[in-house]
């Protein structure tokens, strides 16, 4: 008649193999590119064209170069200092834990909030 169907398996609390592996390179890159595109291009496009007028393409090209250099720096830092702390871990390695590292992290979060707003 056909192949016997398998009974549905009960849900488990164990993460799947893919979930347990965490975010990979392409997933992480997609998150970064999505943040840059969403925050940088779509949110600021009208204002940038209004202010830069004919120089808007040059401004976007320059911003793209800066974003590329930033991405390259983060990639190099991530390879050199593998950690789940991101920028916080990099600043701790560079300046040690203290008021300077804390202040730079606060400035970083303020810039994230400003970009999102």
Q: Which positions ≥6 away from 43 have C-beta within 8 Å?
A: 115
Residue 2 covered by a domain: no
Q: What is the pLDDT of residues 18-72, one digit of tens each?
A: 555 567 778 777 887 777 777 666 777 788 788 888 888 888 889 889 988 988 8
- What are the structure tokens assigned to 106, written together? 């606060």
Same domain, 48 and 74: yes
Q: Which of 79, 70, 77, 71 is nearest to 92 (CA)?
A: 77
Q: Model pTM?
A: 0.51
Q: What is the pLDDT of residues 3-19, one digit of tens each?
A: 555 666 665 555 555 55
Q: Which positions ≥6 away from 32 have C-beta within 8 Å?
A: 71
Same domain, 70 and 102: no
CA 68 – CA 64 distance, rounded (Å) = 6
Residue 113 covered by a domain: yes
- Dihedrals phi, psi of 50, to nearest 5 degrees: -65, -40
Same domain, 60 and 89: no
């Amino acid at each position: 008649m056909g192949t016997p169907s398998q009974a549905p398996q009960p849900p488990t609390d164990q993460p799947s193999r893919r979930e347990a592996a965490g975010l990979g390179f392409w997933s992480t890159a997609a998150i970064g590119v999505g943040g840059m595109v969403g925050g940088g291009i779509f949110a600021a496009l009208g204002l940038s064209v209004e202010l830069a007028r004919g120089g808007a393409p040059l401004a976007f090209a320059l911003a793209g170069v800066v974003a590329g250099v930033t991405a390259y720096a983060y990639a190099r830092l991530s390879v050199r200092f593998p950690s789940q702390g991101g920028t916080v871990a990099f600043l701790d390695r560079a300046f040690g834990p203290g008021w300077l590292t804390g202040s730079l992290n606060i400035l970083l979060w303020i810039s994230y909030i400003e970009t999102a707003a």
